[in-house]
Amino acid sequence: IFGKSGMHLWELANGKDARVVEAQEETKSVSNEITFPKDTFDRDTIEKALLTLSEKVSSRLRDDNLKGRTVTFKIRLEGFNTYTRANTVGSATNFVDVIYDEVKRLYLKFNRGGRKVRLIGVKISNLMPADYRDNLFVDETEDKLERIHQAADRIKKKFGDASIKRAGGRF
């Protein structure tokens, strides 16, 4: 009754598909965003959410063995106007402190004209392998921070995200 289309649909429904599975494309960016339960003016709430988003993006970058140079801040205001602001930092990173400091700077610089915030987001792009070195010389401080982040990631994987919290709080 349904001809070739019917036969094709029957095959798909029965798990038969001759198409080749394409490998996943190279990751171009890592991002996370949150929509607030209700629009907010509260700077503390927004900054805590930015920290939480920065932590999630940072962790995902490390999970994927990546780091990036371009930090993007996304904001949606009441009325659904959406804006993004980005900056490329000097050295590629997957450190939460660097990401948060930059995204917070972009947020504080943004003039929302007295409007409430509905959504915020954090994105890292301009990605490269985590073992890529911007500098020929090994920075001991950066290596130490990398080991600290890796240890924290292992603890969170074993005991859950709530096992280690920043003093800055969580959203």
Q: How many CA atoms lie within 13 A of 44 on its CB side?
A: 2
Q: Rounded to an integer, what distance in angstroms lies between the CA atom of residue 28 and that of residue 32?
A: 14
Topology (CATH level 3) of domain 25-163: Dna Ligase; domain 1 (3.30.1490)
pLDDT given at position 150:
76
Residue 163 tokens read as 């096992």
Model pLDDT for residues 1-14, shown as the tens digit of each residue: 577 788 888 888 88
pLDDT given at position 58:
94
pLDDT given at position 170:
45
Q: Rounded to an integer, what distance in angstroms lies between the CA atom of residue 128 and that of residue 88?
A: 14
Q: Can you tell me whether residue 165 is helix, strand or coil?
A: coil
The label of the residue with tokens 């800055």 reads 168
pLDDT less than 70: residues of the chain: 1, 133-139, 166-171
